[in-house]
Amino acid sequence: MAILAAVAVAAVLFDVAITSVTRDLADEAGVSPLTGVLSNIGILVWCTTAAVTIFSGTVMSKRGEKRQPSFLFCFGLLTLILLLDDLFMFHEELAPRYLGIPDAITYAVLAGLTAASLIAFRDVIWRSEYLLLILALIFFSLSVVIDASDGLSVGSDWMYLVEDGAKFLGIVSWAGYFVRHAYRQISEEEISAPLRAEDALEAAGLRE
């Protein structure tokens, strides 16, 4: 009900026909179902990453962990913000058109949040398999540079493949890093739990 109410409010607030916010995009626009397929897959990958990291952080926090759950929560929320920005084209359309916020400011805010998160958890990242994270940042930077330049306006349609392709590879690399990291942390917890139980029994003198 909350989502339906939010949709109705958004339609009224932004003066958009209700069918435009309820029907399938391709059907509403009368275009091929493959329209925006790469972007849609990217959204699904964003969503998967956010769900996995936040869920894993929740599980680990129940076991008394602090640093790793905080790391996963932080980047899970950051991923969720990036997801919403991408899904609703916030920095491209909503912010400049309806809020009067230039996309450069939105880019700066997102970059600042990312940089702050990376610095805050540099100790965790340094001990992890961070190659995929570095690749993700490189691909994202490449996509932003192309988008911010005149490359798309003066180049061929293939430049869109370069820009959107770099962004997609960044999303996949980002997902690969965080999903793999979450899996390894959960797996290590599952393996070490029986060992800690045995150590406790031995310390209590119940095992030889």
Total tally of structural domains belonging to the chain:
2
SS3 155: coil
208 within domain boundaries? no
Distance (Å, whole) CA 92 – CA 156: 21
The number of angstroms, rounded, from the C-alpha of 56 to the middle of its chain's C-alpha atoms is 15
- By the 10 Å C-beta count (0-12 exposed, 13-18 middle, 19+ buried), 112 is classed as exposed
Residues comprising the chain, all counted: 208
Using the predicted structure, report yes or no on whether residue 81 has a pLDDT greater than 90: yes
Of 15-19, 20-24, 52-56, 158-162, which one has max mean pLDDT?
A: 52-56
Using the predicted structure, report yes or no on whether residue 163 has a pLDDT greater than 90: no
- Give the DSSP H or E segment for 192: helix 158-203
Give the mean model confidence (pLDDT) for residues 90-105: 77
Range of the domain at 13: 1-35
Concatenated DSSP letters for 111-140? HHHHHHHHHHTHHHHHTS-THHHHHHHHHH
Residues 22 and 121 in one domain: no
* Encoded tokens for 22: 């309820």
- 4, 107, 167, 187 from 143: Cα distances, Å: 34, 12, 5, 34
64 within domain boundaries? yes
Residues 58 and 5 in one domain: no
Using the predicted structure, report yes or no on whether residue 129 has a pLDDT greater than 60: yes
Of the candidates 190, 208, 200, 206, which has an alpha carbon nearest to the alpha carbon of residue 60?
190
16 within domain boundaries? yes
Interaxial angle between packed helices 158-203 and 37-61, expressed in degrees from 0 to 180 and rounded to the nearest 10: 10
Give pLDDT, residue 155.
55
Using the predicted structure, report yes or no on whether residue 91 has a pLDDT greater than 50: yes
Position 184 confidence tier, pLDDT thresholds 50, 70, 90: very high
Residues 15 and 83 in one domain: no
Residues 76 and 164 in one domain: yes
